[in-house]
Structure 1
């Protein structure tokens, strides 16, 4: 698993011809390693580097995009990941985070225990496992440093698991970076079961009706367990995706939801299975969306399904993806203003965090954290449009279905105008070094919570897909009272969209092919322009539209 930290720009380096790798290399991975050795400047290669392949994409024309993690003298390099883009062993470009080849000592000055103590001063005493530490090379800044990565686990006040990572300078104990990312670990208390394992049950696929909270009456793929003589909420057609009930607790995985007659839920919260129906439906639609739109076979593209745990904690107004257990947990809301968080856009959002972790692995901090959140908003919204369920009409609002009292401003985020959201914190435009956006400077923007600085990428995607068109219900004369000029930052009210399908293909291509763990907004612009060129041609209308959409969400330099 890759540590997370504050992002630097991803530099895109071009090579007119590159250097050919050895002709006898046989696979994309071995060819990419040859390209790295032949192009040390472009790949920031040092004599002590080694690489591990994490993903391979091969285009129809034979261009290979190989994603790699780097080690230096055997230590993980935080920010050392890269993507090698080559064809027939000849370098085309690299997507690389690291600023220069590494040259530093890997002998620490302070002990691991000293690093744990330094991190513990910030975390406090409410941890539930013994803190862990390990040496890494921290290369997200211009001057790399030897550091300890220290992990503390516990539970936040609202019941959310917390896995707090700290990078502690191995020379002086200073905290270089910190982040909280539950996607990197298991739910607190999860462990091996005791007792004698049961024999493998005899199961057969089944189909049963479900009555959900949000999606209406739906058809579910389930299975009949002949050994237990019971139906189980397991989807054998989608990698054995299954839904558990965690019993309003927060430890462990919960219990697989079962039923005697293969009829699930009653459409109300007084039946605990109703929320599970929404979860099963949402997982299925998200799986089908990625398969139909991108040919992706499951979250990790390996055909393996995840599981969802409904009824997480008590009065928990949230949902989250945990990449460590390859699972998602859904709260029940507070029962007064917010319903269970199992609407389809939220499920698509959270599951898409798993896709991001399996591809670019965008760090959940700074600008890259915002791009991580935006990816989930974008893809969660596209899942909602893909499902096109009249009970959950698709739109560019995140989480509008979960509010008990419908209202024009009851939602979590508005992609078309982030500042319109309930928090009034997300800026509409990307601040420049000299020009703030909504009073937010660029320096402050880089340090914002990812749920807030994600708004600029959401805004970009909306304009790329739809253009400067105000959604129905938010136009002049409504409470929002928006006009086209309120949707753009540069006055380009004539901006025309290219449609959702093309826009999502460009974003997905950028995510899976060009983004690295530390991609920031400047690099995301370059990546999406390159992605549009790959898909639709250099100088195409679509590539020009990407540039115009970024211009429309950026403050003047």
Structure 2
């Protein structure tokens, strides 16, 4: 390219490169097909995903440009290319030029591919950004270090590679509800003290909160974002007007600015809320707990657990067992669920019925059969596991739990959620598998396993049914059957005592299909049962030592 300088309509100078001599035999027709050249370019970039594969991005581009045919899909343009260091341009080659816009990891660059042999000759970056350490005076957490993106002489709340490659991005909805209309928050010197009437200082709370959430799961468990594959964490601040809520919609975090009548109009970007909502994303990528009845209560409870744990880990001097205290509206209290009309005992005071007869159809109007209410049981279990405590629960059971601390409790909760629970899990399953998680981490005879059991007894899930002042002699056996439906075999999981046992499978007509003797151990038992090859499809009752374990569906 040449640049020409003029003055008074006269050429006074020029700069750039001249082609002194066109090389002999220079191709003017490509011998390599465009699609083959594109494949070379994509192999070179090596991204996990690209903009043109994302329908939402493609639709937004069409809207933004007003062109119904606009696309990020790269189209090869034939050009002559020489190395930028070849001042005399003596090594010109015919090349395909592709505009490759990668989504994860983020990059956009022109890639030049030799039109003869498919070799990548060079690249020219279109996105010019640099992760930069900055300082933010947040609305709720004081002055904090954050990472931003140096972009076009300014800074914006984005970073591209946290903890092995996770992008963290925070956008301004400007009181709108269209994500396509969101803009960047910017700062001129990367010292973010943006207190203004728009309450932009709370955007740095969302950004720092997302960073701390990513850092916690990576530091403690080696997890790279919610999907363990560097899922981009996007936060959108200033959603709508007088909107007292924050939510994870399956793709992004969204924060309202609060309501003047509810909490004085303080945005919901507090650290515990950031951790809570982003954990919903992690749950969707792991256990995927259905958002209704008991599984939904577990979903909410695990978000409270990690929202609170992240707050205690990232800013211990401001930590509490409540959720929402930063923005003047406490929503829940994990140490005392009853204070906010939540149960601290399974099926105890404030418990919302989850049965199909008591809550026929889960809906928003009935809180999907009590998910935000019944989560109090899991919250109190975790509180007791961390700190310890004694008392008498709503079932008249006197309990005494010795706390094992935040790190061990968090590790048990994380392993339970990410390794064992499934979409239809119940409180019974949470007990069984948290004991298994503690066993995995600390051993079957460890104090940690004992305290996990004690904490569950305290909240009335298994055991914990004796009169006040007495200790339950044995734990209630809680069973899970998987897979269910089953084809050729299934497993019964339960907590029990050592000894001989019998597993039986009986049809609804009373026909005994299986009667198998088994050896049981103290703690978690996993009994693997082979189904008869001639067994007909249908519903069967599984019993262990005469006690019903549940129904099995034979496919």
Q: CA deviation at 1:247?
A: 1.4
TM-score normalized by structure 1?
Answer: 0.57
Separation in 2 of the partners of 1:489 and 1:400?
31
**8 Å contact 1:497–1:545 — kept in the other structure?**
yes
**8 Å contact 1:290–1:296 — kept in the other structure?**
yes
Query: In 2 relative to 1, CA 438–233 (structure 1 residues): closer, same or farther, beyond 3 Å?
Result: closer
Tell me the alpha carbon deviations over residues 45-67 of structure 1, each in whole angstroms, 9 at most, x when there is no partner. Answer: xxxxxxxxxxxxxxxxxxxxxxx
Q: CA deviation at 1:487?
A: 6.8
Report the equivalent of 1:137. Answer: none
Separation in 1 of the partners of 2:323 and 2:56?
26
Query: In 2 relative to 1, CA 190–355 (structure 1 residues): closer, same or farther, beyond 3 Å?
Result: farther
Q: CA deviation at 1:270?
A: 2.1
**8 Å contact 1:264–1:273 — kept in the other structure?**
no
**8 Å contact 2:321–2:333 — kept in the other structure?**
yes
3-state SS of the aligned residue for 1:494?
A: strand
Gaps of 5+ in 1: 1-184, 404-409, 469-483
Query: In 2 relative to 1, CA 331–438 (structure 1 residues): closer, same or farther, beyond 3 Å?
Result: closer
Q: CA deviation at 1:263?
A: 2.7
Separation in 1 of the partners of 2:427 and 2:161?
38
2:220 is the alignment partner of 1:220: no
Query: Of the two structures, which has the highest relative contact order with CA contacts closer than 8 Å and spacing of 6 or more?
Result: 1
Separation in 1 of the partners of 2:453 and 2:414?
17
Query: In 2 relative to 1, CA 538–354 (structure 1 residues): closer, same or farther, beyond 3 Å?
Result: same
Structure 1 segment 60-79 matched on structure 2, within 5 A? none
Tell me the alpha carbon deviations over residues 35-88 of structure 1, each in whole angstroms, 9 at most, x when there is no partner. Answer: xxxxxxxxxxxxxxxxxxxxxxxxxxxxxxxxxxxxxxxxxxxxxxxxxxxxxx
Work out which of the two has the higher radius of gyration on C-alpha atoms and give 1 or 2: 2
3-state SS of the aligned residue for 2:400?
A: coil
Report the equivalent of 1:245. Answer: 172
Structure 1 segment 2-41 matched on structure 2, within 5 A? none
2:122 is the alignment partner of 1:203: no
Which of 289, 292, 315 is the aligned partner of 1:365?
292
**8 Å contact 2:400–2:454 — kept in the other structure?**
no
Query: In 2 relative to 1, CA 442–257 (structure 1 residues): closer, same or farther, beyond 3 Å?
Result: closer
Separation in 2 of the partners of 1:487 and 1:216?
39
Report the equivalent of 1:520. Answer: 426
Which of 57, 61, 64 is the aligned partner of 1:194?
64
2:187 is the alignment partner of 1:259: yes
Gaps of 5+ in 2: 1-54, 73-107, 110-125, 363-367, 466-475, 477-555
Report the equivalent of 1:466. Answer: 387
Separation in 1 of the partners of 2:256 and 2:374?
24
Report the equivalent of 1:319. Answer: 246
TM-score normalized by structure 2?
Answer: 0.57
Separation in 1 of the partners of 2:302 and 2:287?
11
Separation in 1 of the partners of 2:64 and 2:304?
40
- The runs of at least 4 consecutive aligned structure 1 residues that moved more than 4 Å come to 189-193, 196-199, 438-442, 444-447, 486-491
Query: In 2 relative to 1, CA 302–439 (structure 1 residues): closer, same or farther, beyond 3 Å?
Result: closer
Report the equivalent of 2:270. Answer: 343
